[in-house]
Amino acid sequence: MTTPLIELRDIEKHFGSVIALAGVSLSVLPGECHCLLGDNGAGKSTFIKTMSGVHMPTHGEILVEGRKTVFDSPRDAMEAGIATVYQDLAMIPLMSVTRNFWMGREPQKRVGPFKFIDFDKANSVTMEEMAKMGIHLREPAQAVGTLSGGERQTVAISRAVYFGAKVLILDEPTSALGVRQTSNVLATIAKVREKGIGVVFITHNVRHAMAVGDRFTVLNRGKTLGTALRGEITAEELQDMMAGGRELADLAEVLGGTV
Amino acid sequence: MSVEADRNPESSPQQAARDERVREISPVRKALIRPELGAICGTILVFVFFLAVARDSGMFSADGALNWTVVSAQFAVLAVGACLLMIAGEFDLSVGSMIGFSGIVIAITSVTWGWPVWAGILTAFALALALGWLNGYLVIRTGLPSFIVTLAFLYILRGLTIFASIATTRKTIIGGVREAAEGDWLAPLFGGKILNGLFVTLADWGWIGKLRNGNPVVDGIPMLVVWALVLIVAGHLLLTRTRFGNWIFASGGDAQAARYVGVPVNRVKIAMFMLTAFCATVFATCQVIEFGSAAADRGLLKEFEAIISVVIGGALLTGGYGSVIGAALGALIFGVVQQGLFFAGVESSLFRVFLGVILLMAVILNTYIRRMITGER
């Protein structure tokens, strides 16, 4: 069996008297899309923040490519190749695509005693990377604000991939998107997976998860209800596990279909 | 941002695969969505207007032109700092008080205490930078709006300045700086003039007028104008061409998103507060050396004039968007109109009416431009 890119074992996280996570385990293999499902308040956010170095776990351990690791800051996690794309904080709308893409890591060239941004390189790389993801920009100086929500997610994803992410954590990338845009983002996830990058896809939409997921982990009230392989589980079962089952099933009967 | 648009070799191969739903943007519309647009139009308008009404008043003769150039340069020096700070997402309302403070520091150290003027100037800069740092540090640490923090400093600094002036000299105006500055090596960098020879030659050729004593009506470019030009060019390059400039945009655009990708937002903002204080001190020093005196009430309302220049120049009050060139043009409009109304013989109180109107127009235009950029409805 291949070594997981990242493995989290029995992660517990307490905030004062609140137990946000009570022993969650999850691993991400190269080239897989691991879906993390859970209703609001299930602990998804706390868990990915632990994975991306924002929170230190109270108990449990994190292994990066088999080695035990402690992340002191998001910077540590980034350097270990763990990149997180947040739903709405990924991009700055007033800035150009190029400026967003390179933000924090601008390529520089020396002109006399000064260092300026190498816009030729920055622009051409941006166009190239975006084209790989199937987005053809009018021009790299176009403001991100002119892009659709799905395209913005894609810029953020291709940025993470270009800068060497091994594990890509996507925080509800599809929750605010329309049907067409969602399928674009799911297609992007598929492309990223082909490169051997492990994807952690957080969502509460079972259908989106079933579309691209290889493995599924459901979080409910800070606990994991186990990890299932693709084909071992149906969408209805996932839905039930997420919602705690019964009430929703009753509701489904009343409504005459699946919720 | 538009600078990158000027040359992008990569866009041509993409033509074929273009998304049919993306409308072609006309060059006119593209030119429209520059932050400086409003200021460029305003500048043209203002010059056309005054060429029409005040041509014979001497406004466009050499000495008349120098008159509004100097006034514009004063606004521009302050506007560069205020512009970069506003793009980084913050305000500084203590600029005016900082001008009074720095001036009094130079006068007290050099005249009352008898230090060499260069030491006084360096002390003023050191104190101003420290205060700028403190402004920024408090804004970052407390998380309060910079509006409130710097409003507090507006009062604190003004009060301290008047107190220090009265406590040391029992006056609020301290003179004698010019005499103290005789032969000083640093003072001419702020109070001197350059290109004297050029103007003498121009006068000999009869291109510009001569005074009765044979000197040209304009005997050089004041250092304040040179400072303004240097600050504008340096500020523009810093903002549009460097990594730090990108961080300025990012810090003002969305500080949290910038932090997530490793931009040192706090450092950027504090540096911009220090730059604003630096610009205020440049202004104060030029004024003190030129007038030969410092007054504790100097710089009143300058913070608002700087902010107005910046807004006319197309910067958004919410940060993340703007242009140093625009702010400089805003300062030019400001200076030309203020002096032009005087040349045209218009009642000077109307200047404020004009200012209010143009400010309102600029903000409305900016809001519209932002909608075009971000595609919001």
Domain ranges in chain B are 34-374
A40 to each of A25, A91, A220, B187, B353, how far by Cα in Å? 19, 24, 9, 65, 54
Whether B242 contacts chain A with CB within 8 A? yes
Whether A185 contacts chain B with CB within 8 A? no
Which CATH number does A6-92+165-255 carry?
3.40.50.300
CB A66 within 8 A of CB A34: no
**b/e A157-195 (16+ beta carbons within 10 angstroms → b):** bbbbbbeebbbbbbbbbbeebeeebbebbbbbbebbbee
Higher-confidence residue of B361 and B279: namely B279
Confidence category of residue A250, pLDDT binned at 50, 70, 90: low
Short-list A221, A216, A215, A214, CA closest to A245: A221
Whether A75 contacts chain B with CB within 8 A? yes
Whether A79 contacts chain B with CB within 8 A? no
**pLDDT value of residue B20:** 47
Short-list B126, B130, B77, B86, CA closest to B269: B86
A218 to each of A6, A27, A204, B222, B266, how far by Cα in Å? 18, 13, 10, 72, 38
Residues of B in contact with A85 (CB under 8 A): none
Tell me the Cα Rg of chain B.
22
Distance from CA of B95 to the nearest CA of A (A): 27
Whether B27 contacts chain A with CB within 8 A? no
Residues 6+ apart with CB under 8 A from B238: B84, B244, B245, B248
Residues of B in contact with A158 (CB under 8 A): none
Confidence category of residue B98, pLDDT binned at 50, 70, 90: very high
Q: CB distance A116–B316 less than 8 Å?
A: no
pLDDT beyond 80 at B209: no
Identify the three-state secondary structure at position A195.
coil
pLDDT beyond 90 at B104: yes
Q: Is the dihedral angle over the CA atoms A218, A222, A225, A229 positive or is it negative?
A: positive
B128 to each of A75, A94, B277, B283, how far by Cα in Å? 34, 32, 6, 12
**pLDDT value of residue A244:** 65
**pLDDT value of residue A251:** 57
CB B177 within 8 A of CB B288: yes
Q: CB distance B10–A93 less than 8 Å?
A: no
Q: What angle do CA B28, B30, B35 make, to 5 degrees?
A: 115
Confidence category of residue A121, pLDDT binned at 50, 70, 90: very high
**Phi, psi torsion values for B32, nearest 5 degrees:** -65, -35
> Tokens 């200012």 label which residue?
B355
Whether A136 contacts chain B with CB within 8 A? yes
Confidence category of residue B126, pLDDT binned at 50, 70, 90: very high
For residue A163, the chain B residue with the least C-alpha distance is B261
Q: How far apart are CA B86 and CA B315, in angstroms?
A: 7
| Residue A109 CB-half CA count within 13 A | 7
Confidence category of residue B33, pLDDT binned at 50, 70, 90: low
**pLDDT value of residue B105:** 95
Q: CB distance A116–B237 less than 8 Å?
A: yes
**pLDDT value of residue B29:** 63
For residue B253, the chain A residue with the least C-alpha distance is A92
Q: How far apart are CA B235 and CA B376, in angstroms?
A: 30
Confidence category of residue A54, pLDDT binned at 50, 70, 90: confident
**b/e B20-34 (16+ beta carbons within 10 angstroms → b):** eeeeeeeeeeeeebb
Distance from CA of A167 to the nearest CA of B (A): 16
Q: CB distance B374–A145 less than 8 Å?
A: yes
Whether A145 contacts chain B with CB within 8 A? yes
| Start-to-end C-alpha separation, chain A | 37
Whether B31 contacts chain A with CB within 8 A? no
State both tokens at A208.
């989106």
Identify the three-state secondary structure at position B60.
coil
Whether B25 contacts chain A with CB within 8 A? yes
**pLDDT value of residue A183:** 84
Q: Lowest-confidence range among B87-91, B127-131, B331-335, B356-360?
A: B356-360
**Phi, psi torsion values for B21, nearest 5 degrees:** -85, -10
Q: Domain B34-374, CATH 1.10.3470 — does that match?
A: yes
Rounded mean pLDDT of B45-56? 86
> Tokens 């809001």 label which residue?
B367
Q: What is the pLDDT of residues A61-76, one digit of tens each?
A: 899 888 888 888 777 8
Task: Give the one of A78, A102, A139 whose C-beta lies nearest to B11's C-beta.
Answer: A139
| Number of C-beta neighbours around residue B330 at 10 A | 35
Q: CB distance A136–B17 less than 8 Å?
A: yes
Residue B353 identity (one-letter amino acid): V
Alpha helices in chain B (DSSP H): 2-5, 27-32, 37-53, 62-87, 95-107, 117-142, 146-169, 177-181, 188-191, 196-204, 223-241, 243-253, 255-260, 265-291, 302-312, 324-343, 350-374
| Number of C-beta neighbours around residue A228 at 10 A | 18
Distance from CA of A98 to the nearest CA of B (A): 9
Q: Which residues share a beta bridge with B221?
A: B194
Short-list B158, B126, B147, CA closest to B295: B158
